[in-house]
Chain A
Amino acid sequence: MNNLKRFRIKNKKICLTHILLIIVSLVWIYPFIWMVSASFKTDDEIFAKGLNLIPKNFNFDNFIRAWNNANFEAYFFNSIVVTVCTVLLVLILSAMMGYVMGRYEFKGKKVVLGIFLASMVIPLGFTIIPIYQAIKALGLMNTRIGLILAESGGSHIIFILLFAGFFKEIPKSLEEAAIMDGCGFLRIFINIMLPLSKPIIGSVVIMQFIWTWNSFLLPLVLTLSNEGLRTLAVGLYAFKGEYVVDWTGIAAGGTISLIPIIIVFVVLQKYFVEGIAGSIKG
């Protein structure tokens, strides 16, 4: 009897929590619901007063217009190329560096690590001017390669530490067995170490993807004079300035740009909490 009562109270509590959470999360994502609905609306509808979220009829004109007129096709392509290349580059480089840092002892290792750690404190956003000048000096201004390099050159020290921490824990015997089988340094890294580090790879991919996809200052500054090289983040911002009238087009563009990041997030979500957990506990 007593147990049943307790069960009921518990159930009630959980129900209440759900109701509260649903209300809060609806308020939380209301802006997105608004944007998606606006992307189907007509210009008159969007300016009508009130909280109406359901468009009268779903038309895809806005998407077509945003895609064609506003160069969204190009922005989308640039965002994908820059993000994918940056993620791959950062992943490979930080895995390599992390492997070396976590598993080998050699002269100079402590110095390198020390310098890297020290520069974590220095706010990167304030070195944007020299980064701009460096890209200019390398002749990579207004190129995708320049943007990719600048994005990858940022602080992925945290990923190096993540990888180093992970590789450190792998038992030595595994490596010794591989050496006896005639595996070299490179083979051990590619065939044994990398496949083992899947969870770290997952969290590095998702974090770097989010950072690069949403990156604003670097692409803004490094593609200042070439509209064709803008990424979605910069393109949308400029779009607002140039075509202020076309709000439904902007909403459609915003909706388009949300899709890839949501897919990546949902697919890799399970690695995400673990990855962040590892990185802030370390």
Chain B
Amino acid sequence: MQQVNSKKNIFAKKNKSNIRWCWIFMIPTLLLYLVFTAWPIFSSFYYATLKWSGLSVTKEFVGLSNFIEVAKDPYFWSAFWNSFKFMFGVVPIHLIIGLLLAVVLNNKLLKLAKVYRTLFFLPVVTTASIVGIIMIFILGADGPVNTILLSLGITDNPINWLGDPKYAMISVILISGWKNLGINMIYWLAALQSIPSELYEAAKVDGCNSRQMFRYITFPLIIPIGAVIALLNIVGSLKVFDIVKTMTNGGPFFSTDVVATYIYRYAFSSEMGLPRIGYASAAGIFFGITIIIVGFTANHFKKKIKAKSIVSQN
């Protein structure tokens, strides 16, 4: 009895010191979080009410006028819609082609699947600035793409993929689709591998062919994870910056300008004269709120899909 009591005592004492340790373990992360996540969120609301270059000491409080100016700027709205255009172009590529590729590479009988996986992953691990540089050549007037198109007689003149406003957005979408397909393929592979193999064995016994298996087993079971992948892609593509900045810098004639490049231009670059921190913050908040709304809407559908698929599984 006494032994049991002393054992309890040890644990009680441990418990108190453990709680202290818990907080010690959390403090560094909490500090970083405070400085680089929490504070920035709140202060960008404050910045948005200022007329401030970020360089000078003088900050003038201007209330909501930055927001009003953003709302009235046609270039902001063009960037806003371009962000959505980009999203609607890129997300289907990632979801559909990524899934196709994952289904093919998930075949256990397929040798070299790992090698293919690595090859498709190569663009993912490549910096956007390298992609930007390579693509200027690949898509250039004398580059391989135009050479092939010309020799096949598809066009008579080389297409100016990145310099012509008609084609620039499509080019950026395709390149971004190319760059990030690999990570989506991995997402889908993870989803596919979460399906218990007994289900397929049972279906085989029942005489299902591979198309039926995909239709009745694979597809319904990966839908919940698919919804997460879709959500990640939607939110991620709305935030796009690197690839646009390095490929076209928003041009030509603002045809690929997205909100992130718009904000960057006002906050950090000298293209527009003195930086306008307040104005850029207001644009950021504007768009941040849009993303949150889109995210929540998508999340709502995701939950619905999840609930539905759980019901159908039972």
Contact = CB atoms under 8 A, between A and B. Distances in A.
- A and B: interacting chains: yes
Interface of A: 10, 14, 17-18, 21, 25, 28-32, 34-35, 38, 46-47, 49-51, 93-94, 96-97, 99-100, 104, 106, 109, 112, 115-116, 119, 121-134, 138, 149-150, 152-155, 160, 179, 184-186, 189, 210, 213-214, 216-217, 221, 224, 232-234, 236-237, 240, 247, 250-251, 254, 257-258, 261-262, 265-266, 269, 272-273, 276-277, 280-281
B71 interface: no
B291 A123 contact: yes
Contacts of B311: none
A115 B245 CA distance: 32
A129 B280 contact: yes
Interface stretch (B85-93, B164-172, B211-219, B235-243): B235-243
B44 A126 contact: yes
A234 B118 CA distance: 25
B246 A237 contact: yes
B241 A217 contact: yes
B28 interface: yes
Interface string B115-146: 01111111111111111111101100010100
Given A30-B144, A280-B190, A126 B284 contact: yes
Interface residues of B, number: 95
A132 to B, nearest CB: 8
B287 interface: yes
Contacts of B272: none
A219 to B, nearest CB: 10
Nearest to B291: A123
B118 to A, nearest CB: 7
Given A129-B280, A280-B225, A94 B37 contact: no
A30 B137 CA distance: 12
Would you list the 7 A-B pairs with minimal beta carbon distance, nearest first?
A153-B36, A277-B190, A130-B40, A127-B40, A237-B129, A126-B284, A185-B21
B110 A216 contact: no
B19 interface: yes
Contact of A258 (B130, B135, B194): B130
B35 A14 contact: no
Interface of B: 10-11, 14, 17-19, 21-22, 25-26, 28-30, 32-33, 35-41, 43-44, 47, 54, 104-105, 107, 109-110, 112, 114, 116-135, 137-138, 142, 144, 147-148, 178, 183, 186-187, 189-191, 193-194, 225, 228-229, 232, 235, 238-239, 241-242, 245-246, 260, 263-264, 267-268, 277, 280-281, 284-285, 287-288, 291-292, 295-296
Nearest to B240: A125
B277 to A, nearest CB: 6
B159 to A, nearest CB: 16
Given A28-B178, A237-B132, A261 B35 contact: no
B41 A106 contact: no
Given A97-B25, A155-B37, A258-B126, 6 more contacts: A112-B26, A116-B33, A121-B296, A126-B260, A127-B44, A160-B29
Contacts of A217: 241-242, 260, 264
A281 B241 contact: no
